[in-house]
Structure 1
Amino acid sequence: MNMLVHPKDALFAGERVFPALAACEHFAGSEKLIGKAMDLQVEYGSVFDITCDCEDGAASGQEREHAVMVARMINSDQNKAGKAGARIHDPAHPAWREDVDIIVGHAGNRLAYITIPKATNAGQVAEVIAYIGETERKAGIARKVPVHVLIETHGALRDVFAIAALPHIEVLDFGLMDFVSGHHGAIPAVAMRSPGQFEHVLLARAKAEVVAAALANGIVPAHNVCLSLKDPAVVASDARRARREFGFLRMWSIYPAQIQPIVDAMRPDFGEVTDAATILLAAQDANWGPIQYKGELHDRATYRYFWAVLEKARVTGMALPDEAERRFFAG
């Protein structure tokens, strides 16, 4: 019997591997809230990442102390899932380099990612990425810390394809609130909520550009927050529209009650997951040649699609058929 070839080797040989990231990114700005989020990761099964927030979390004049706390929490035993990143201050703020020095320098081996907010052009993002790399080298950190970039200014949107092409980026985040504020009243406040945030032409255009730039460069597009903190139906509706109408594969949470509705809404359809597993198992048995399934022809093009379905199902906590789990994800 031929050795079974894994989908990643058969379908994506020589290509950059698309990041298989959690569908929810939860922001927490204090030691108490970061700790609570880490405990929830254990309870929920690591279906979301945590962004330890320096930009909005640090009190003015306490930036250094806040960064030290973030590094300590990331290094702590409470961070059992190892899926905690950090949002640093923006490139115009005097504290951003110190954020990098402390968080990367002291927690770089466990830091899941760094998020760069409010960049105004690709050059600014490149400067921060270069400084992160320099800090990694000085600290003796062999790995490259993944970078997430918030697209929330006119300049960042103008340069979004250039930003997405920079090294070490795995996520482009859309920042709705600052983007709306940057239009000086031309976009009404009602567009910060649904349905306006999906229907206003300037916002629909911006979201589509972010998703297109991210996917064209093999990185994950992440959707902005929902302002409704405790109504799961509203949160889930926003997540579904972001996923189905615009192609976002990840969404922010700013309150614990938002996490599960986002994860549930971002999950693939159960029937499609079952089809994906059946098709990929048969394709692997056929050494990735064409097969027929339910009267339809499938080949490498559809196999790549169905592999993405399986990966998304797994990171959202869905149970896969036992044989698919054993062949594709064991170990």
Structure 2
Amino acid sequence: MRALTPAEVLFEGDVPPAVMPPCDHYAGSEKLIRKSLALQAQLGPVFDVTLDCEDGAQVGQEASHAELVASFLGSDEDRFGRVGVRIHDFQNRAWRDDVRIILRAAKKAPAYVTLPKIHSVFDAAEMVAFVEASRCEFGIKHAIPCHLLIETHGALAEVFELAALPGVEALSFGLMDFVSAHNGAIPDTAMRSPGQFDHPLVRRAKLEIAAACHAHGKVASHNVSTEVRDMSVVANDAQRARNEFGYTRMWSIHPDQIQPIVDAFLPRSDEIVAATEILLKAQAAQWGPTRYQDTLHDRASYRYYWSVLRRAKASAQALPEGAETLFSQDK
């Protein structure tokens, strides 16, 4: 009998939850874009680079900035195909032009399109549909996933419906705009640590977003850390986001933040080794219960360890001998 892989047996016909690199680094100007792509080439695909049309474009220069963004997609500097774009929001007349300019001019489609300041499911559905229609119009073969930025009252109220939308790959929390939307009712200390993890309304928002993502197999992406000098603060923010709030990805707004975020979110080498050994034993037992180091395991724990290996592989971490056989049928 052929050895069945985790993807074939652990999700009972469902698509396994999405897995992405653990850091989403934003860059808007040409200088910062080039610097970010050079760093990605150096470190490998452990982080994505998001080219920013929303905050990166000067007023009146939206079209030229979209052309600039398009010029990097599929270029020699786009080494791994892990470059996305953030377009203007639904209320801004430039968002449709952003999509059309980028998809028409780029040598390669972006890895994803981030849609900011979502107010409702209707906004998001229209934007996702426009991205899909545009990629079909321009003959782009594969669908382009969309990431939704949750930073308004309306989006948070409909976050489970937003996470369920076809074509959506991830939800990101926009902390600064969310706090500002409360018009002073939440103090500015909640825009940074430790307040961002302690204020009840902000905690609620983070938890609702993460819960919605995990309910629908989407990636939960945590907000930025505003600290750009003390990287121990960034590392602690990332660890709390991962361990206490269930996020598997986090934004970066400064190159120095990337490595602490990656280190906090990537599986440790000992976790990868244990996951490989547990899953190989499970595979040999045709996915029945097994015992590993005096601990019993079954399909519930197998799914956890499979997520460890998938996250490691998605970020090009070294896998132990034999681990690749677990992916032979994985899509």
Task: Please name the residue that 1:291 is paired with.
Answer: 290
**Cα offsets for 1:78-128 (capped at 9, x unmatched):** 111110000000000010000011112333843100000001111000010
Is 1:3 aligned with 2:6?
A: no
Is 1:263 aligned with 2:246?
A: no
Higher relative contact order (CA 8 A, sep 6+): 2
For residues 36 and 6 of structure 1, the distance between their equivalents in structure 2, rounded to whole angstroms, comes to 40
Q: Which moved more, 1:101-110 or 1:118-127?
A: 101-110
Note the residue ranges of structure 1 that are not aligned, 5 or more in a row.
none
Give 1:317 deviation, angstroms: 5.0
The SS at the match of 2:91 is coil
Report matched runs for 1:2-81 at 5 Å. Answer: 2-81=1-80
Task: Please name the residue that 1:311 is paired with.
Answer: 310
> Structure 2 length as normaliser, TM-score?
0.95
Q: Are 2:109 and 2:140, in contact at CA under 8 Å, matched by a contact in 1?
A: no
Give % identity: 52
For residues 82 and 184 of structure 2, the distance between their equivalents in structure 1, rounded to whole angstroms, comes to 37
Report matched runs for 1:104-183 at 5 Å. Answer: 104-107=103-106, 109-183=108-182
Report matched runs for 1:205-244 at 5 Å. Answer: 205-244=204-243
Root-mean-square deviation (CA, aligned residues, Å) is 1.7
CA 1:66–1:156 in structure 2 vs 1: closer, same or farther (change >3 Å)? Answer: same
**Cα offsets for 1:32-65 (capped at 9, x unmatched):** 2112111111110110001000000000000000
> Structure 1 length as normaliser, TM-score?
0.95
For residues 290 and 55 of structure 2, the distance between their equivalents in structure 1, rounded to whole angstroms, comes to 52
For residues 139 and 249 of structure 1, the distance between their equivalents in structure 2, rounded to whole angstroms, comes to 33
Report matched runs for 1:70-109 at 5 Å. Answer: 70-107=69-106, 109=108
Q: Which moved more, 1:287-296 or 1:236-245?
A: 287-296
| Matched residue type, 1:181 | S
The SS at the match of 1:177 is helix
CA 1:108–1:285 in structure 2 vs 1: closer, same or farther (change >3 Å)? Answer: farther
The SS at the match of 1:55 is coil
The SS at the match of 1:67 is helix
Aligned residues: 330
Give 1:294 deviation, angstroms: 1.9
Give 1:17 deviation, angstroms: 2.8
For residues 56 and 22 of structure 1, the distance between their equivalents in structure 2, rounded to whole angstroms, comes to 23
